[in-house]
Copies of this chain bind each other. A is one copy, B any other.
Amino acid sequence: MLVGVTDTAGRLLSLLSLLQSPREWPGSELARRLGVSPRTIRRDVDRLRDLGYPVEATMGAEGGYRLVAGTAMPPLLLDDEEAVAIAVGLRTAARQTVAGIEEASVRAMAKLEQVLPARLRRRVSALGAATVPVVLGADGVTVDPEHLTVLASAIANRERLRFRYSAADGTPSGRHVEPLHLVPSGRRWYLVAFDPGRDDWRFFRVDRMTALSPTGARFAPRALPADDPATYLKEHMLSRAPTYPVVATVHLPARDVRARLPGAAVQEVDERTCRVSGLGDTVEYLAFHLVQLGCEFEVHEPPELVRHLRDLHDRIGRAISSG
Instruction: Give residues in A with beta carbon < 8 Å to B.
Output: 4-6, 8-10, 12-13, 16-17, 20-24, 47, 50-51, 53, 62, 67-86, 88-90, 92-94, 96, 98-101, 103-105, 107-108, 110-112, 114-118, 120-121, 127, 129-136, 140, 152-153, 156-158, 218, 248-249, 260-263, 289-292, 294, 296-300, 306, 309-310, 312-313, 315-320, 322-323
Majority-rule SS of A interface residues: helix
- Asked if B323 and A299 make an inter-chain contact with CB atoms under 8 angstroms apart, the answer reads yes
Could you show 11 A-B contacts with beta carbons less than 8 Å apart? Answer: A13-B51, A81-B103, A82-B111, A84-B101, A85-B105, A89-B108, A96-B134, A132-B263, A312-B316, A313-B313, A313-B320
- Asked if A84 and B98 make an inter-chain contact with CB atoms under 8 angstroms apart, the answer reads no
* A47 interface neighbour in B6, B98, B140, Cβ under 8 Å: B6
Shortest CB distance A259–B (Å): 8
- Asked if A116 and B296 make an inter-chain contact with CB atoms under 8 angstroms apart, the answer reads no
- Asked if B22 and A110 make an inter-chain contact with CB atoms under 8 angstroms apart, the answer reads yes
Nearest-neighbor residue (CB-CB) of A311 within chain B:
B294
Shortest CB distance A91–B (Å): 8
Complexed CA–CA distance, A74 and B95 (Å):
26
- Asked if A116 and B73 make an inter-chain contact with CB atoms under 8 angstroms apart, the answer reads yes
Nearest-neighbor residue (CB-CB) of A259 within chain B:
B129
- Asked if B135 and A134 make an inter-chain contact with CB atoms under 8 angstroms apart, the answer reads yes
- Asked if B78 and A101 make an inter-chain contact with CB atoms under 8 angstroms apart, the answer reads no
Which of A16, A80, A114, A289 has most B Cβ within 10 Å? Answer: A114
Chain B residues with CB under 8 Å of A23's CB are 153, 156-158
Shortest CB distance A65–B (Å): 13
* A81 interface neighbour in B62, B98, B101, Cβ under 8 Å: B101
Nearest-neighbor residue (CB-CB) of A153 within chain B:
B22
Chain B residues with CB under 8 Å of A157's CB are 22-24
- Asked if A117 and B71 make an inter-chain contact with CB atoms under 8 angstroms apart, the answer reads yes
- Asked if A316 and B319 make an inter-chain contact with CB atoms under 8 angstroms apart, the answer reads no
Nearest-neighbor residue (CB-CB) of A74 within chain B:
B115
Given A9-B5, A99-B88, A316–B291 Cβ distance below 8 Å?
Answer: yes
Chain B residues with CB under 8 Å of A117's CB are 69-73
- Asked if A218 and B62 make an inter-chain contact with CB atoms under 8 angstroms apart, the answer reads yes
Chain B residues with CB under 8 Å of A131's CB are 98-99, 262
Given A47-B9, A73-B116, A121-B69, A92–B81 Cβ distance below 8 Å?
Answer: no
- Asked if B315 and A296 make an inter-chain contact with CB atoms under 8 angstroms apart, the answer reads yes
Complexed CA–CA distance, A12 and B12 (Å):
11
- Asked if A105 and B89 make an inter-chain contact with CB atoms under 8 angstroms apart, the answer reads yes
Which of A98, A108, A297, A316 has most B Cβ within 10 Å? Answer: A316
Chain B residues with CB under 8 Å of A318's CB are 296, 298
- Asked if A262 and B132 make an inter-chain contact with CB atoms under 8 angstroms apart, the answer reads yes
Complexed CA–CA distance, A5 and B44 (Å):
9
Complexed CA–CA distance, A110 and B292 (Å):
31
- Asked if B76 and A78 make an inter-chain contact with CB atoms under 8 angstroms apart, the answer reads yes
Chain B residues with CB under 8 Å of A110's CB are 22
Given A85-B108, A262-B132, A312-B291, A98–B90 Cβ distance below 8 Å?
Answer: no
